[in-house]
Amino acid sequence: MKLDATDLRYVTSEEFRVLTAVEMGSKNHEVVPLTLITQISGLRNGGVNKLVGSLAKRNLVSRVQNAKYDGYRLTYGGYDYLAMRAMSKRDTMASVGNQIGVGKESDIYIVANAEGEEMVLKLHRLGRVSFRTIKQNRDYLGKRKSASWMYMSRLAAQKEWAFMKILHEYEFPVPRPIDQARHTILMEFIDAYPLRQVSEVENPGKLYSSLMDIIVRFAQAGLIHGDYNEFNILIRRDTGVPVVIDFPQMVSTSHPNAEWYFNRDVECIRRFFRRRFRYESNLYPRFKRTLSEGETDFKLDVMVEASGFTKKDQKTLDEYMEAVREEEENKGSGDEDDDEEEEEEEEEEEEEEEEEEELDGQQGEAEASQHNEDDSTMGRSLSLSPSSTPRPSHKPLESESIDPIAAVEEQLAELVILDEPNRSLSRSPPKSRPSSPRRSEPDSDDDDGGIKTKVQHDLTKRRAQQQRKYHSKRSIRNAGRPQGSKAKQDKRIKRDQFWD
């Protein structure tokens, strides 16, 4: 959902009170009944009806007609308004600007405070991509299953806030955190661009070493980024120093799969430098050696846990991240299957084109041989004297007395062609067809032989087309599928648009 802060200044305090009541009721109810909203907000019943209707018009809450009772559900728009109101009450944010980034699980906006200082507002949007299998197979929160996505977004924001605060205190290359409310984080604005947009670097080896050093510093402090790639690394415009962002998937080195996450981060950087800058180095950090060289007393993961983000919250968020990764892998395998089917269809099309080219080549050779025979016949006729007449060199045999045209017509009568269009007909209007000279009727046995060769070629070509049409893999795979575009498949009766 795109953030629209236009109506934020017009929402009254009573409407925010009702919006907070819907949020509190969502902890134990999938659909919050109107009586509970009235009870939590402490307002009159008639006034609550009017206020809820006003919020529903702004898409801050949505009405749900349940089988047992009717009620309302909080939307991401209402959750955004509650978070921004909390920050405005603390005087950390005063205005909202344009959107500068969008991701699978977050939106990034430019905001400013009362002094006009630009900052970055990050809104977590976990669950925007519909992971239906995750919701069916995993119950993260038990009774809170209905509000799980907003709850997971708040957990992700709390985790990122805790890690950014600790890392900035110990001078890691991360943005300076300013404020956090619900599922949003406010941080400093950095004049930089993502690493994925960098096409050339003066010294790729220096940048490669600095990025690997950051991985080693994280690991020696007891942390692993978990998603360390070109999308989550910024390069400062003035100095070229890298800055790391996006920490919801950060894990501790004591995690059961810590070595796998560490190796994946290292391999992502190596693969990017190999593809983009054609740079590959044999020097890269190893997990066990990095941990053995680090300080045993300096553990930032323990400090983060002491700051309020408990192991229970970490476990809940890790289960979500793991489920998302499994869903992406399954989706990727499905895309590979679709690509294989497309490749098979392309191969079949290429085979058909090659067969048609071969048939056309055979036809061209037959026509060329026929032209040569005609030329030789004309040469013999020209060498004769005008008074002389050609005489047959031998008497025709009984087998040669049969008319070849009649034999070909019998073959054509026996051939049955199923649903084959007449390719000799032109789709253009008669007047637009080019006029071509008509061929004279055959007057000799050589012309009869040329017609026979041409008809045999047409028969062979038609049989090959029938074979491809009724016995190819594509026809079997497409059997029973609707043909044509979606507009042609729509069989609903549409009103004539002539009178509109």
> Which residues are identified as catalytic?
227
Instruction: Please say whether the beta carbons of 87 and 31 come within 8 A.
Output: no
CA distance readout (Å), 14 to 7, 10, 36, 88, 424: 15, 11, 16, 17, 78
Strand 233-236, strand 192-194: pairing: antiparallel
The candidate with the shortest Cα–Cα distance to 217, out of 307, 140, 306, 290, is 290
226: how many CB neighbours lie within 10 A of its CB? 22
* DSSP-based three-state secondary structure for 233: strand
Residue 393, both tokens: 């060199």
Instruction: Please say whether the beta carbons of 216 and 224 come within 8 A.
Output: no
Q: How many Å separate Cα 321 from the centre of its chain?
A: 19
Whose structure tokens read 């236009």? 6
- CA atoms of 209 and 12, how far apart (whole Å): 54
CA distance readout (Å), 52 to 57, 70, 84, 182: 9, 13, 20, 22
* DSSP-based three-state secondary structure for 406: helix
Residue 462, both tokens: 């038609």
Whose structure tokens read 């020209």? 382
Contacts of 254 (CB under 8 A, 6+ apart): 222, 301
